[in-house]
Amino acid sequence: MDADAIRRVAVVGSGLMGSGIALQFAVGGYNVQLGDVSDEKLEMALGTVATNLEMMRDMGLVDDESAAGVPGRISTSSALETTLDGADFVIEAVFEDLALKQNVFGEIDGLAPDHAVIASNTSSFMASQLAPHTGRPGKVVVANWWNPAYLLPLVEVVRGPETTDETIETTVALLTSLGKRPVVLQKESLGFIGNRMQFALLREAASIVEAGIATAEDVDAVVTNSFGRRLAVAGPFQVFDLAGWDTILAIVDQLFPDLESSGASPAMIKEMVAGGDLGVKSGKGFYEWDDDAVAAVRERVGKALATIGQLSK
């Protein structure tokens, strides 16, 4: 299927990622059918879409005329058959649970038009774990968007063993038409590229705090005031090319043996979850959160991402 022939996109799951993906497609001019299990969830999603659209308008990422047309391009339904009716491209964005995703993929396969591609917005699971639950394994692909979906350009595209070249080409072309930066993995890998690197950083950060080397606040301060700024505009291989690999190798030889390499989840994080300290969801994680604090951080991050996006053009 050619990407130019795609007219209607279905997004199954209206949470943080699903609503952001729906917004991005609507801004891109596509008709979007957004589905979830209840009208209440969908009403919340439309409120989130409106808030984020206003943020995009304030940042100059979408003009007034374009923004005015976005709400009319998003329809909602709590009936899956309605969400999938006439869809050319389907994105599954339900909770990150493999059994749930496999079940949803089976339902989508039975209701979506035969020509439709089914993409999963999973952050970690592989297409080979989802495709067998459909009758169209060649049209199953992973398309992992990053949060916030309407601001971050990256989408990791991962083929399964039976995913066709046509499906990959269609997915990449569709994402590119939205102004996204799709990266196609050469083979399947748990966590893909971004999460493997992001969670390696989390493992070391948690180890530093657990060992009493620094507080969580100081770890965050180190990242945001040093290499985090560089990584926004140049990747690790570019940065270390500039530094010189002889210098980097000397540091690697000294440092790597001392880095955290445990395969176990950090005990500190397990204890926090067991105690109900889930972060923003519960009002407390490593930081205390109220509505004002959440709004302030989201606004700061949004403005920073928009600025970086302009610098990268």
Please tell me the pTM assigned to this model.
Answer: 0.92
Mean pLDDT of the chain: 95
* Contact present, 175 and 144 (Cβ < 8 Å): no
Task: Dump pLDDT digits (tens) for 39-49.
Answer: 999 999 999 99
What band does 303 get if pLDDT is binned at 50, 70 and 90? confident
- Residue linked to tokens 């493997």: 196
Predicted pLDDT at 69: 95
Angle between helices 194-210 and 267-274 (to 10 degrees): 90
Predicted pLDDT at 211: 97
Task: Dump pLDDT digits (tens) for 103-159.
Answer: 999 999 999 999 999 999 999 899 999 999 999 999 999 999 999 999 999 999 999
For the domain made up of 3-184, give the CATH fold: Rossmann fold (3.40.50)
Predicted pLDDT at 1: 73
What band does 186 get if pLDDT is binned at 50, 70 and 90? confident
Using CA atoms, how far apart are residues 247 and 152, in angstroms rounded to an integer?
Answer: 32
Which residues face 182 on adjacent strands?
155
- Residue linked to tokens 């540091």: 251
Query: Is the confidence at residue 311, as pLDDT, over 90?
Result: no
* CATH 3.40.50.720 domain extents, the chain: 3-184
Superfamily of domain 197-311: N-(1-d-carboxylethyl)-l-norvaline Dehydrogenase; domain 2 (1.10.1040.10)
Predicted pLDDT at 312: 60
Write out the two tokens for 4.
């130019």
CA 233 to chain CA centroid, nearest Å: 19
Rounded to 5 degrees, what are φ and ψ at 284? -155, 135
| CA-CA-CA-CA torsion sign (63, 47, 106, 10) | negative
What band does 313 get if pLDDT is binned at 50, 70 and 90? low
Task: Dump pLDDT digits (tens) for 253-285.
Answer: 999 999 999 999 999 999 999 999 999 999 999
* CATH 1.10.1040.10 domain extents, the chain: 197-311
Using CA atoms, how far apart are residues 22 and 276, in angstroms rounded to an integer?
Answer: 31
Average pLDDT score over residue span 222-237:
95
Tally of CA atoms within 13 A in the half-sphere of 240 that contains its CB: 11
